[in-house]
Amino acid sequence: MKVTVVGAGNVGATCADVLATREIANEVVLVDIKEGFAEGKALDIWQKAPIIGYDTRTVGVTGDYSRTADSDVVVITSGLPRKPGMSRDDLISTNAGIVKSVTEQVVKYSPNAIIIIVSNPLDVMTYQAHLTSGKDRTKVFGMAGILDTARYRAFLAEALNVSPKDIQAVLMGGHGDTMVPLPRYTTVGGIPVTELLDKETLDAIVDRTAKGGGELVKLMGTSAWYAPGAAAAQMVEAIVRDQRRVFPVCIKLEGEYGIDGVYLGAPVILGKNGIEKVIELQLNDEEKALLETSRGHVKEVMDALDKMSQANA
């Protein structure tokens, strides 16, 4: 198995490191446009192998996509990170151009690869990659839900003083302030979280989750990287090992939840063929309203991308 990670910055390097450490692939190729950057990161990860004890070879290249040929899975993290005061949507123009260019190279050398998008704004960059690749929606999708549920579960574990391992959760919608955490589908060791926390506490955790990326930007001056990188690696693992894991993933909805043609987070089964199935939950009226708000927000940014593309045509 061969996995390529495009972008050797904090998120991409973390993803490559987790893939190597967990021996998820035989070879991990790290690509970047900055001379020597990917090579250095890959060499550093490889030199850690004798210490931690893993066999995965990590290779870095500067802009040479021929070295990525015949990859089984490609993770795209390229693009500008968020800065203080910058929304995800501010990134659209520059990052759309980057994702389009990268996707063209990926498809040229690895036409059968499954593509995972991590670049922000996530939902719309997934749209861009899907348009550029011409692949089925089951082969091009975005990483957001795993990261968002991880934040949600981490905050719940703190509030309950329990292990995060015992918390299962799902959320939907766009990646950002309009995401839709679903406390009704959240359990702690099989116990509904609504039986363990009062509504006020739960609402505060849901709000913190929705603003989780912004909180980190304020603290560090840039986006997160450990959790996003590990989340992308977990998706790769589910595909490479055909685990058929149930994860929330950004996908083009085609009638599910009454939504058509918009890229939103929804629970899916993830396996060797990419998205094996989209799971349709029975949402209540409040949850449907929140999802509709999120749909409207993502559709606005998709429309903005379409207008930019037409202007540049």
Q: What is the mean pLDDT of residues 171-183?
A: 91
CA distance 92 to 301: 8
Are 267 and 147 in contact by the 8 Å Cβ rule? The answer is no
Give residue for tokens 């991409």: 12
Span 61-78, pLDDT tens digits: 999 999 999 999 999 999
Q: Where are the alpha helices (DSSP H) in the chain?
A: 10-21, 37-52, 92-109, 122-133, 145-160, 199-210, 212-220, 226-240, 285-312
Q: Judge if pTM exceeds 0.85.
A: yes
Residue 312 is assigned to a ligand binding site = no
Residue 190 is assigned to a ligand binding site = no
Q: Which of 2, 175, 295, 297 is catalytic?
A: 175
Q: Tokens standing for 31?
A: 């690509």
**Residue 123 CA from chain centroid, whole number:** 9
The answer to whether residue 130 is catalytic is no
Residue 95 is assigned to a ligand binding site = yes
Span 89-148, pLDDT tens digits: 667 888 999 999 999 999 999 999 999 999 988 999 999 999 999 999 999 999 999 999
Q: What is the mean pLDDT of residues 217-223?
A: 89
Q: Tokens standing for 98?
A: 């980057």
* pLDDT band per the 50, 70, 90 thresholds, residue 278: very high
Residue 245 is assigned to a ligand binding site = no
